[in-house]
Structure 1
Amino acid sequence: MFYLNIRHILERACLYFSRKEIVFRTVQGDVGRYSYEAFYGRVCKLANALRSDLNISEGDRVASFGWNTHRHLELHFAAPCIGAVLHTVNIRFSPDEIVYAVNHAEDKVMFLDVDLLPTIESIADKLKTVESFVVMDPTSSVKLRNLYVYEDLINGRSASFSFPDLNENLPAVMCYTTGTTGKPKRVLYTHRGIFLRSMATCLADTYALSERDVIMHIVPMYHISGWFMPYAATLVGSKQVLPGARIRPEILYELIRREKVTVSDGVPTIWIDFLNYVRSSGCREDISSLKRLVVGGSAPPKSLIKAFKEEFGVEVIHAWGMTETYDSAIAYRLKSYLENLSEDDKYNVMAKQGLPFPGIEINALDERGKPIAWNGREQGELVIRGAWIINEYYKDPERTRESFIGDWLRTGDIVTIDGEGYVQIVDRLKDVIKSGGEFISSVALENEIMAHPAVFEAAVIAVPHQRWVERPLACVVLKQEFKGKVSREDIIKSIKDKFPRWWLPDDILFLDEIPKTSVGKFDKKVLRQKLHNYYIEKL
């Protein structure tokens, strides 16, 4: 029987694309490169070391705590291919969340980048199941027990390994959700799920990733394994660019220019910063190789989609997914017979989350649990199932019962679905503003506010109100050159014709920055807590 496992992805890359490159930026900022053939040899060396030096057996958990580097990529293949489970620990977790995740997962070994050592050193005595630590760069640390240095560990090991043909339903990778309430939930990703998700990434009507592409991985590999893009790129032999630690717009710009990157990914805030950098300090010709951006995590504003298309000829592919769906499960692609739409109508479609991937089924349920009409107007909670959607949270039956209706996953997103099947998120169930018995979409308000030329970022939240129960409050960060020059009235005036009067925010609060979650999304939970009494105190 042919199993859909990660071994096939790895060995195919070495067999057919041995001369293709993987380019990497180290934690120290240096740039290096090697071939897929060399990559395969190093994965084999690491597999030998995992087995012989670290005593990792099938089913054991191996934790990683690191950035998008070549060593982290090697670990993404070596651990699952010997039958272990790679646990990508979110480096943005609080110390208590890290301790909980590592202990709950029962990780046996932890690999970490050298600049993240202080975090782990401060909690190492609380990591009860971790027997050894591997630092992925040279270090003089003596605070961690059984400490190895990555290059010393694999040095001298054989560059060949007989990888087992593992059952495709075995777990390969695990990830903990960035939960806003309660402890993070554990999600297991199987070899089969990763394989199918990788193949789906390469379809013409999804992200169309191919051997000819040069892909730069911006989405952190500690978060859903960089949306599994590194596996897809390896499957088809794309040249890969790993930008390393603490990326900034100028670093991405230089990598795109030098390596001729054609496709990249990331949350909207990354590309908003990048857009502003290119406008102020860059040159369009330097990034002319860039053709596509897969943007998810939160909805990219229509103004961002339009700017990249019209100023740089870059297509922004609006993507939607969750930790529970191996991330991407819905993405924008314009159907052929809609090409004759006006440019404005096309941008309206582009701003929607899009169509489900082949192998994915969707619907939306109203408050009574009944399917909504697909007319682009009725709203309901998106439910989803499919070839790579999880069907449970690992060892968490209570939250599994709360989150599933049969084999349908409740997403918590309020959506409309139009007659063509395009999904548009109206709001998160927890973010929708309930004012005077009516619902207001924070997402719609944010998109229009961010279309204002002076606005850098905007987040709209529900704030308690004595009369209306809740009212919208817009938190706005202005671009540097507009600070002190744009008023509340200017912002309201720019959006007042787009919405009913009662939708308009009661106030605009100008901030220096909007708090972000560990994966770069606006952290509305923090804003709601901080501004809970904002309108009550103003009465």
Structure 2
Amino acid sequence: MTGNAVDYFLDRHVAEGWGDRFAFREAAGKKRRITYAQLADRSACVATALRRGGIPREARAAMLVLDQIEFPEIFWGCIRAGVIPVPLNTLLATSVYDVILKDSRAACLFVSEELWPVVEEAARNSEYLEQIVLIGSNAPEGAVTFDAFTESCEPGETVTASDDDTAFWLYSSGSTGQPKGVRHVHASLKATSDTYGAQVLGIQPDDTVYSAAKLFFAYGLGNAMTFPMSVGAESILFNGRPTPDSTVEIIEAEKPSIFCGVPTLYAATVALLERQGVPGVTLRRCISAGEALPEEIGKKWHDLWGVDILDGVGSTEMLHIFLSNAPGDVVYGTSGKPVPGYEVRLVDEDGVDVGPGGLGELLVRGASAADGYWNKRDKSRTTFEGEWTRTGDKYELTEGGRFVYCGRTDDMFKVSGIWVSPFEVEQALVSHPSVLEAAVVPARDGEGLEKPKAYIVLKEAGDSDALSADLKDYVKDKVGKWKYPRWIEFVDDLPKTATGKIQRFKLREEAC
């Protein structure tokens, strides 16, 4: 790709006569739809409005926008104008928005009306914001509505851009602390659609995609926007919280051919469907990322729907999935093999390559790698090592060339001098019929030695003392006597990021 990414993902379809194809539709009774031609015009109007509002090229435009029609209008409008859109997690606290607005020095903020109360204080305190645009009917003082912002704006020109120009930022999900601004270039978007989108997902023009993972998340941005737009397909947008009930309702009502979820949602949806049955809808393909998918959940989903979940691993830094199971080549309990176009390797603490059977940190090389973190030079240097990107994930390579997830580098710990993978113990726990979710962290015993502690969410309440003893024996039989959790705490839910990743660092702090 040479030039502005909007040329490839949007304007190309209009030029080729596909402008009347639908690009997006809203679910849950909203019934708004937009064609590729309409999206091209609307994004061009946004670009004109940005210029009219004095927002210069390369300025940042923060997007605190729900999954709604205005999201792609604004995202592509910014890119068309050379302004850098920065989609933000819609579930953060005011204090975190304050940090991000100051860190990004955003000159413009687009915000859905429902989210204004939580960001208002941070927006008012920003010394950099010049324009606040509210997606809704009533603009607060100092802001304008999106309709007023784009009123009387004739579609303008698209700025010329190189493959290496910064196109957009994403802030990392912050599973281990404050989020970091990740800078991506124009070419990265096409790189992911050419690799995972075309060669693993196999997306086609007649597909309809529903991604429970939201657009602000790198995984969701690929699923619900760039992959379908790369082939002229349609995407379903839902601005609510993706619960098991809403997920099943949307699949039944909207009939997507591709569903994109995360392990937490798959587990909860399986539990729901085992009680109420599966709707009479055919899914062509299902994918998962965000965290490793437990083997038991993948098998149960296949039994219920008759379709595999293609589990893979990606990152905000690499923009989408680079290691994955593939159609006709699924082994549950593994993250599969490298996606075509990517290379991966495992290294030990000294940077030496680790062979089959060994444990090492996963490094990845591919065209979608970020251009670095914003304003975090030291962190950029330790994560982006030349062409290789450190993922922070520990993996084991099997003799058959598949990669087995063992946990985050920071999550691993030793028991009796032997490495323990929290994920391995968690997989054993969730395979028990009483367990919905589990998280394992190290805790210290009376002698100051680290041992596994499990936090467990049950499907139904039960006798905790008897179940605790049963679960300990169950894990001993499944994965080894030294790996069983010495302590089990039953909880109503586990702390997670908005993208479904368990925040084990919070549990570690509590266990200590």
TM-score category by the smaller chain?
Answer: over 0.9
Q: Please state whether the residue corresponding to 1:496 is helix, strand or coil.
A: helix
**What pairs up with 1:106-117 in 2 under 5 angstroms?**
106-117=105-116
1:480 positional shift: 2.9
What is the alpha-carbon distance in structure 1 between the residues aligned to residue 274 and residue 76 of structure 2?
38
1:492 counterpart residue number: 472
Q: Is the 8 A contact 1:215 1:263 kept in 2?
A: yes
What is the alpha-carbon distance in structure 1 between the residues aligned to residue 322 and residue 475 of structure 2?
32
Q: Which residue identity lines up with residue 214 of structure 1 in the other structure?
A: T
What is the alpha-carbon distance in structure 2 between the residues aligned to residue 60 and residue 454 of structure 1?
51
Residue from 341, 346, 350 that aligns with 1:368 = 350
2:66 counterpart residue number: 67
Q: Is the 8 A contact 1:454 1:486 kept in 2?
A: no
Q: Please state whether the residue corresponding to 1:472 is helix, strand or coil.
A: strand
Q: Please state whether the residue corresponding to 1:202 is helix, strand or coil.
A: helix
Q: Is the 8 A contact 1:175 1:187 kept in 2?
A: yes
**Residues 478, 380 of structure 1: alpha-carbon distance in 2 compared, 3 angstrom cutoff:** same
What is the alpha-carbon distance in structure 1 between the residues aligned to residue 19 and residue 466 of structure 2?
55
1:478 counterpart residue number: 458
**Residues 334, 466 of structure 1: alpha-carbon distance in 2 compared, 3 angstrom cutoff:** farther
**Residues 100, 92 of structure 1: alpha-carbon distance in 2 compared, 3 angstrom cutoff:** same
What is the alpha-carbon distance in structure 1 between the residues aligned to residue 294 and residue 257 of structure 2?
22
1:24 positional shift: 3.6
What is the alpha-carbon distance in structure 2 between the residues aligned to residue 283 and residue 122 of structure 1?
45
Residue from 410, 415, 431 that aligns with 1:451 = 431
1:323 positional shift: 1.1
Q: Please state whether the residue corresponding to 1:92 is helix, strand or coil.
A: coil
**Residues 253, 483 of structure 1: alpha-carbon distance in 2 compared, 3 angstrom cutoff:** farther
1:536 counterpart residue number: none
**Residues 498, 278 of structure 1: alpha-carbon distance in 2 compared, 3 angstrom cutoff:** closer
What is the alpha-carbon distance in structure 2 between the residues aligned to residue 250 and residue 32 of structure 1?
22
Verify: 1:49 aligned to 2:49, yes or no: yes
Q: Please state whether the residue corresponding to 1:519 is helix, strand or coil.
A: coil
**What pairs up with 1:217-232 in 2 under 5 angstroms?**
217-224=211-218, 226-229=220-223, 230-232=225-227
1:359 counterpart residue number: 341
2:308 counterpart residue number: 315
Q: Is the 8 A contact 2:134 2:146 kept in 1?
A: yes
Q: Is the 8 A contact 2:313 2:321 kept in 1?
A: yes
Verify: 1:153 aligned to 2:133, yes or no: no
Q: Give me the TM-score of the superposition, normalised by structure 1.
A: 0.89
What is the alpha-carbon distance in structure 2 between the residues aligned to residue 182 and residue 307 of structure 1?
33
Identity of aligned residues (%): 24
2:248 counterpart residue number: 253
What is the alpha-carbon distance in structure 2 between the residues aligned to residue 22 and residue 408 of structure 1?
35
Residue from 189, 193, 199 that aligns with 1:198 = 193
**What pairs up with 1:344-423 in 2 under 5 angstroms?**
349-373=331-355, 375=356, 377-390=357-370, 392-423=372-403
Q: Is the 8 A contact 2:25 2:234 kept in 1?
A: no
Q: Is the 8 A contact 2:468 2:488 kept in 1?
A: yes
1:537 counterpart residue number: none
1:263 positional shift: 0.8
Q: Give me the TM-score of the superposition, normalised by structure 2.
A: 0.93
1:342 counterpart residue number: none
Q: Please state whether the residue corresponding to 1:358 is helix, strand or coil.
A: coil
Q: Please state whether the residue corresponding to 1:350 is helix, strand or coil.
A: coil
Q: Is the 8 A contact 1:6 1:195 kept in 2?
A: no
Q: Is the 8 A contact 1:64 1:112 kept in 2?
A: yes
1:294 counterpart residue number: 287
Q: Please state whether the residue corresponding to 2:453 is helix, strand or coil.
A: strand
**Residues 60, 4 of structure 1: alpha-carbon distance in 2 compared, 3 angstrom cutoff:** closer
**Residues 200, 6 of structure 1: alpha-carbon distance in 2 compared, 3 angstrom cutoff:** farther
2:180 counterpart residue number: 185
1:4 positional shift: 6.5
Q: Is the 8 A contact 2:23 2:232 kept in 1?
A: no
Q: Which residue identity lines up with residue 360 of structure 1 in the other structure?
A: Y
Q: Is the 8 A contact 2:23 2:229 kept in 1?
A: no
1:239 positional shift: 1.5
Equivalenced residue count is: 510
Q: Is the 8 A contact 1:227 1:328 kept in 2?
A: no
1:484 positional shift: 5.9
1:334 positional shift: 6.2
1:29 positional shift: 6.1
Q: Which residue identity lines up with residue 144 of structure 2 in the other structure?
A: Y
C-alpha offsets along residues 344-399 of structure 1, whole Å, 9 cap, x if unaligned? xx6xx2321121222211111112321011x2x21111111211113532332211
Q: Please state whether the residue corresponding to 1:278 is helix, strand or coil.
A: helix
Verify: 1:435 aligned to 2:387, yes or no: no
* Structure 1 gaps, min length 5: 337-345, 533-539
1:318 positional shift: 0.5
Q: Is the 8 A contact 1:5 1:167 kept in 2?
A: no
**Residues 384, 307 of structure 1: alpha-carbon distance in 2 compared, 3 angstrom cutoff:** same
**What pairs up with 1:6-17 in 2 under 5 angstroms?**
6-15=6-15, 16-17=17-18
1:128 positional shift: 1.4
1:168 positional shift: 1.5
* Structure 2 gaps, min length 5: none
**Residues 310, 291 of structure 1: alpha-carbon distance in 2 compared, 3 angstrom cutoff:** same
Q: Is the 8 A contact 2:438 2:455 kept in 1?
A: yes
